[in-house]
Chain A
Amino acid sequence: MKAIEVRNLRRVFRATIGVVRRKIKEIVAVDDISFEVYDGELFGLLGPNGAGKTTTVKMLTTMLIPTSGEARVLGLDVVRSAEALRSRIGFVFGGERGLYWRLSGYDNLRYFASLYHVDPAVSRKRIPYLLDLVGLSDRGQEKVEGYSRGMKQRLHIARTLLHDPQVLFLDEPTIGLDPVGARELRQVVRNLQAEKKTILLTTHYMFEADALCQRIAVIDKGRIIALDTPEGLKTYVKDLAVIEFEVYGVPSNVLEQLRAQPYVHTVSVENRDQKQALLIHSPRGSQAVPDLLSMMNGIRIGNVIVREPTLEDAYVRLVGGEA
């Protein structure tokens, strides 16, 4: 059974530009997307910043009214049946906001439990359980203002589970967390999946989507450009090898020259501390390395690796090397 159904959903924002001669500019954040999420599925929405992930989640959680199209969650229309839907879904947006910092974690949960009409007898048992689930049982009585970012994120997860929702929307829940905090939070998501919750997770971390999601929709500039299982998405680049150069600064004219080569499909650069990784997708694999090196004269180069493509490479190819 389908837990989420999205049909031709579109959302346009209007922004005013100029001071004297004001003009209204229309920005299409979500452009005619359609997808379905099945009961108990962990579905990923993967895309770069500004791709339309959060806007999609806000429409599905009744916080934004779509410009056109239709969306149903648990069979309820997100606009017409918004009030009925709210008690059956939960959501988390990445970041530290949305909590009452002067109250303790426990008091925040108690307050939100009342807003969701959870019976006090139930919430008295459920709040300690949830604090334990997210690893905050020993800090629950402390004020939220003293929590780390990761603790606040985990408190948000506990908040969203107070009313035991059937469908969860997790919008970049690990953003800004340190590796340990992110790993702990991913474990919480896995536990929720084991409880057969339907989860829509947005992220721009490829390994996170790969590790957690059963199916992934890749979204870019408001449009879904691919929808498949992680393994299925990797086949998008199965004909290509990835050549990875460790470099210390690459001029833009060299990047342009590399992109112009007929045997080069995608060129992207990732920052890695003091150095960068120059990633080139090419069907020629290691055979292309000498030609590529000849175009990078004068550039300091460290290791060169030729490897099989990953989900991240598939993603980079899909979004045009702009990751």
Chain B
Amino acid sequence: MNLKTLRDYGRVIFYAAEMALRSNLTDSFVLFGILVQPIIIALLAFWMLGDRGGEYIIFVVIGSGMTGLWTSCLFISGNSITQERWTGTLELMVSTPTPVSVIVIGKILSNVLQSLASMVLSYTLAIVIFGYVPTINQPVLFTISLLLTILSYACFGLLISPVFVLNPDVQRLQNGLEFPVYVLCGFMFPIALLPGWTTPLSYILSPYWAARALHATSSQWNGLGEVALSWAAMVALSLIYLMLSSLLFKRLLRRARLDATLNIQ
């Protein structure tokens, strides 16, 4: 891949992200998922757990923000190809020289960045309504964790998107997948409270490691070792997701060209 191709792909990612942002801002379902729902979760958590002390507030802020990120990843990124197929634009995307996965990266990155707004909203909510001033223990490490979280969510979205297209049965379970992941990834409470057999499931989900890194650097500091482990797990899982999604995209597009399912009317 030469420099010109990289520049072309970078431009595609930017335009795809911009387009996704414009579309999402006019979609009330999306706005509810990334703005309203995390606020509801944060409000409930503040009322129930607010008396636990200052550190727990930032835990709630991060946790509710992560729920917004996952909802966005599951519904918006997961549907990114399906939606293009229904609107008749997938055929056009596929017949351009740009790989579909590059376009999807742009859309997912945009969705992830928009979802971070829910974390900011929860933070503001804590200050304005409850009078808390959440502090972050390790601001630099937290920022690094946040950047890795964005990347790992983007890779996870890139994996989910072709899986949903190739397996419509999985997509039918989309609603049911939302809350189990909140629980398995320890967004709002530690996974130590769950039965032991669920732990391996948490370990293969990068949002779990993202939540762990963000919680550790903001409120539950146990030393650099734990954070480094979470970062390494995020990077490794993201690479695995990327490789798997690359294979799935190739398979998806070949199958769609064989089965004539690029366009559904």
The residues of A with any CB-CB pair to B shorter than 8 Å are 13, 58, 61-65, 83, 86-87, 91, 93, 95, 97-100, 102-103, 107, 110-112, 114-117, 120, 159
Name B19's contact: one of A61, A111, A117 (CB within 8 Å): A111
Cross-chain contact A100 with B19 (CB below 8 angstroms) = yes
Cross-chain contact B96 with A98 (CB below 8 angstroms) = no
The residues of B with any CB-CB pair to A shorter than 8 Å are 8, 11-12, 14-16, 19, 22-23, 26, 87-89, 91-98, 103, 254, 257-258, 260, 262-263, 265
State how many angstroms separate the Cβ of B111 from the closest Cβ of chain A. Answer: 16
Report the separation of the CA atoms of residues A120 and B15 in the bound assembly, to the nearest whole angstrom.
12
With A102-B23, A107-B19 known as contacts, the answer to whether A65 contacts B11 (CB < 8 A) is no
- The interface residues of chain B, by DSSP majority, are classed as helix
Report the separation of the CA atoms of residues A120 and B11 in the bound assembly, to the nearest whole angstrom.
9
Contacts of B22 in A (CB 8 A): 102-103, 107
Report the separation of the CA atoms of residues A269 and B16 in the bound assembly, to the nearest whole angstrom.
50
Name A65's contact: one of B88, B95, B257 (CB within 8 Å): B257
A-B contacts, 18 listed (Cβ < 8 Å): A13-B260, A61-B95, A62-B95, A62-B257, A63-B262, A91-B95, A97-B265, A98-B87, A99-B89, A100-B23, A103-B19, A103-B23, A110-B15, A114-B8, A114-B11, A115-B96, A116-B97, A116-B98
Report the separation of the CA atoms of residues A61 and B263 in the bound assembly, to the nearest whole angstrom.
14
With A65-B258, A97-B265 known as contacts, the answer to whether A117 contacts B98 (CB < 8 A) is yes
State how many angstroms separate the Cβ of B8 from the closest Cβ of chain A. Answer: 4
Contacts of B260 in A (CB 8 A): 13, 58, 64
Cross-chain contact B12 with A115 (CB below 8 angstroms) = yes
Cross-chain contact B8 with A117 (CB below 8 angstroms) = yes
Residue of A nearest to B88 (CB): A97
Cross-chain contact A100 with B89 (CB below 8 angstroms) = yes
Cross-chain contact B103 with A115 (CB below 8 angstroms) = yes
Cross-chain contact A112 with B257 (CB below 8 angstroms) = no
Report the separation of the CA atoms of residues A86 and B11 in the bound assembly, to the nearest whole angstrom.
19
Cross-chain contact B258 with A86 (CB below 8 angstroms) = no
Contacts of B87 in A (CB 8 A): 97-98, 100
Contacts of A110 in B (CB 8 A): 15
Contacts of B23 in A (CB 8 A): 100, 102-103
Cross-chain contact B92 with A98 (CB below 8 angstroms) = yes
Contacts of B26 in A (CB 8 A): 102
Contacts of A61 in B (CB 8 A): 95
8 tightest CB-CB pairs across the interface, nearest first? A97-B88, A115-B96, A98-B88, A117-B8, A87-B97, A114-B15, A115-B98, A65-B257
